[in-house]
């Protein structure tokens, strides 16, 4: 009897697929399983809406598109990941080495907007522990079956020594970009580092099939239009400052896009204000200190 698969998804362990473990995509049996699970998608809307549900994970494994099981599974088709394989994986390897100059071996890193999930392996090879966040993971090809987090509200606060986000901000609209930075910033421990990389203005503007829209471009690719906004370093720095209120930035070299590193300040401690007549005590403890100070330092 086939065993259920177990995977980490959305910060939890999910077991799924015992009955369909041996079903291959693109087969009549795959079609039967996809057709049946499509009915379950209609009957169980909560499971259908959750990318980490056993139902959704099973349909991903069978390469379901509606009631059909596709012969070419987008989750394993190398053509679907050509860009990430040839470019992004190499960049992640460089990012991993760069992060080791900021954080120690074994530090926990969040890959925010992990795409196909291929970069996490490169960060792990650099000696880092990695969690992944990716809300659109239908084409996921990482070592795990799904990202650790599929919803941003699941990402634990103040838990990561570093957050990495490569080529995410440039595909987000205004408002979405600010929210993404706030989520990354909130996930960082005090003293942690945020590494951002985006496409440059020149890279976006040299695209042939594009049309201008507010704050960016709609770039056509295989019949679909995708929003893109390029940055130069000063623009990226100013944008990050408006959200984090941090002035100090590093400009890493050797990465293919425009990159920036910003360190989250340590928590500020508010030293006890000196208690004087101009600054009266606010608590009983302060009052006792105030009385002691008056007794000790009152002029003769």
> 214-257, pLDDT tens digit by residue?
889 998 877 778 889 999 999 999 999 999 999 889 999 888 88
Do 109 and 55 lie in a common domain? Answer: no
pTM: 0.65
| Burial environment of residue 266 by CB neighbours within 10 A (0 to 12, 13 to 18, 19 or more) | exposed
CA-CA distance, 153 to 282, in Å (whole number)? 37
Torsion angles phi and psi, residue 245, rounded to 5: 65, 30
Domain that residue 230 falls in: 79-263
| Burial environment of residue 252 by CB neighbours within 10 A (0 to 12, 13 to 18, 19 or more) | middle
Query: Within 13 A of 241's CA, how many CA atoms are on the CB side?
Result: 10
Do 119 and 34 lie in a common domain? Answer: no
Do 64 and 85 lie in a common domain? Answer: no
Do 164 and 256 lie in a common domain? Answer: yes
Query: Residue 85: is its pLDDT beyond 60?
Result: no
Q: What is the pLDDT of residues 181-226, one digit of tens each?
A: 999 999 999 999 999 999 999 989 888 889 999 889 998 877 778 8
Cβ–Cβ < 8 Å for 187, 110: yes
Do 66 and 87 lie in a common domain? Answer: no
Q: CATH number of the domain at 183, please.
A: 3.40.50.150
Average pLDDT over residues 269-295: 44
Q: What is the pLDDT of residues 90-99, one digit of tens each?
A: 899 999 999 9
Total domains, the chain? 3
CA-CA distance, 210 to 216, in Å (whole number)? 10
Do 187 and 224 lie in a common domain? Answer: yes
pLDDT, position 11: 66
Q: Could you tell me the two tokens for 141?
A: 């090809």
Measured CA distances, 288 to 121, 194, 281, 294, 300 (Å): 58, 44, 9, 10, 21
Q: Which of 35, 53, 73 finishes a domain?
A: 73
Do 124 and 244 lie in a common domain? Answer: yes
């Amino acid at each position: 009897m086939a065993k259920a698969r177990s995977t980490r998804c959305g910060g939890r362990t999910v077991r799924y697929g015992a009955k369909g473990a041996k079903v291959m995509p693109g087969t009549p049996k795959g079609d039967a399983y996809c057709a049946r699970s499509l009915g379950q998608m209609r009957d169980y809307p909560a499971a259908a809406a959750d990318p980490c549900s056993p139902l959704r994970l099973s349909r991903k494994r069978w390469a379901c598109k509606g009631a059909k099981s596709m012969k070419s599974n987008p989750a394993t088709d190398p053509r679907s990941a050509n860009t990430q394989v040839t470019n992004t994986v190499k960049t992640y390897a460089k990012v991993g080495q760069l992060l080791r100059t900021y954080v120690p071996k074994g530090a926990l890193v969040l890959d925010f907007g992990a795409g196909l999930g291929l970069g996490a392996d490169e960060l792990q090879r650099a000696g880092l522990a990695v969690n992944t966040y990716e809300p659109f993971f239908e084409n996921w090809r990482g070592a795990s079956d799904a990202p650790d987090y599929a919803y941003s509200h699941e990402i634990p606060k103040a838990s990561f020594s570093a957050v990495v986000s490569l080529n995410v901000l440039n595909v987000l609209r205004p408002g979405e970009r600010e929210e993404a930075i706030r989520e990354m910033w909130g996930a960082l421990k005090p003293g942690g580092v945020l590494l951002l990389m985006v496409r440059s203005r020149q890279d976006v503007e040299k695209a042939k099939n594009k049309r201008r829209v507010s704050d960016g471009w709609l770039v056509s690719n295989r019949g679909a239009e995708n929003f893109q906004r390029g940055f130069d370093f000063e623009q990226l720095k100013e944008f990050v400052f408006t959200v984090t209120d941090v002035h100090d930035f590093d400009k890493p070299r050797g990465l293919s896009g425009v990159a920036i590193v910003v360190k989250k300040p340590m928590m500020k401690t508010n030293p006890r204000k000196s208690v004087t007549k101009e600054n009266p005590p606010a608590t009983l403890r302060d009052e006792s200190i105030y009385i002691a100070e008056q007794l000790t330092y009152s002029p003769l």
